[in-house]
Structure 1
């Protein structure tokens, strides 16, 4: 076997041009498929990051009836024991309490329905970086009686910093909720929808407004490693008994999951077309190699070389070509995509406007997930190995007389 490998390796470099052309087709196949996949997965990661970072977190603990009713009556008592039981899981990084409900906000003759979110300012900032999104005024303090409002909402109600916002709602178990609050700051929220309707209050202030006492609608659970999400979710579900329930971001945002899966299916079709082109390119080069060396093979068989051994040598030649092409494509794609990940491609014109309208930054982002690289290299290598069957079949079916006269 070692002799066959040595012969195959030497045969590769007898015709360097032919070998390099074949290697180049595999190299560019790996590079292009990795680039396409990285760009696709990078956009998905950014979408997930927006949902997780700016609103839902990776998981949320609710009352078992809350997600269906979205009612402030389906809340639960906030206790140190509950928080600690969640934090006892090694994968859990931190827990953020929230109280969410809806209200009617007004300023003079203008009114609008708003989402009121009671938060602990410092804890919330760890996840959503709200403080950095304040473009007017200041961020909330721990026991602040004021509000943060979305920029779109402030523009609609013609409000600015230090103006007063009036809110009317229904509190816990039908209690009337009404109050006047000064605006401490105006934020530009990453989500266009939330930017037009969000109002942030400190948690004690919101609990007082809705008369809930020490109750919450949710505990947002953040984890240290996204790869541990499913395991953490399973463990927390085993530990948290009714009336509590815990949901992942995928369960809370099924529309986004469906959008990603449908787009990923389209990407698979595009990559399949690319792989077919790559496969035929490699096959054409291998067929050309067999045709050019037909007389050589005939002479080798005539002087006593077994067809099986000749087929093995040709297989090793194709194997080496596949390995060189896949590895070189892998090694070159890693630094290129690392640079692209650090320097996303900016979008301009209408494309940038569409991205901005949907709440995304107007850039093409790239992913550095390991599977982006090795999946493409492995796929192209497998295609090459399938094509390597052709030289073996050709060697076994070759007619000696025809080969010698080629």
Structure 2
């Protein structure tokens, strides 16, 4: 339909005969084209129909004003860069000692920077990141200053001594650690060396108070923030909004002394034998996967931990221990690769804590596709052998 919409008031004004006391109208006069063109709902629906799906699905982003008409040109949204905040002369420093495995901040580390920003902004201070190497993530996370620690690898003794020298040599008001295996151990070592009281496992933090549960979670301990604090997971939201300088800080560390640890190295665990709750990279199969031999070969080639949806485990194609979801295992993996999984609500609850989600599904509107940061709308049975070929080519190259 190409005719324009009618505007009754404008049409009445065009038919009116001027110069008469009583309102008179000439209905034979040609009405002026008024209003915007009518929309053809059927044509819009045909354009929005997604081909190749069993169920009838519509892509509403393909809506146009009329048949054959092009969508109105829109100016692309210009993303404004985050505002850079500088603190030239901080009144104090709030130090953060993240785990940063492989030089990359974890979600827990980012929450640590969010807590440090609360304490620093309330006291006119700056956030000091004590890390092994500088990273681009530190400015986004909220670090104003960066001080590389000379200790590298697994050497908690040397790292604790280096932190003690920073504690004595700089105006550090608070030092925050993650309450993790490495972070908690380092916090307790520093507390023993410095004689400072450690508030371990803090579950909430503000500029005036820090709290944690005690006595089997029957009571809550509350006090003003001390100098040494280790923070539990999800106690504070990560910093967001402003970009910070992350300027390097010069500091003369004392000469390292030989400790009890002569040599140490990280031995990676076999991903096929790691439990899903501790896995870093999980690849899961759903109803879209039928060739499980290829699936297992892909999991081994990617170095991932195998997982599955509930329906696959119910069918006996994968063990029950591999089930991902609210009724299986809730993941905290860095990356989750879903093959042929539509994304039931219980399954999405199981991957809510995953940092990155990659999904392969033929349904453009599947819930897992919407949850994914990277989505491939294709058949998982075709994607798996293609990935295996690419991995083999990369190894040969």
> TM-score under structure 2 normalisation?
0.21
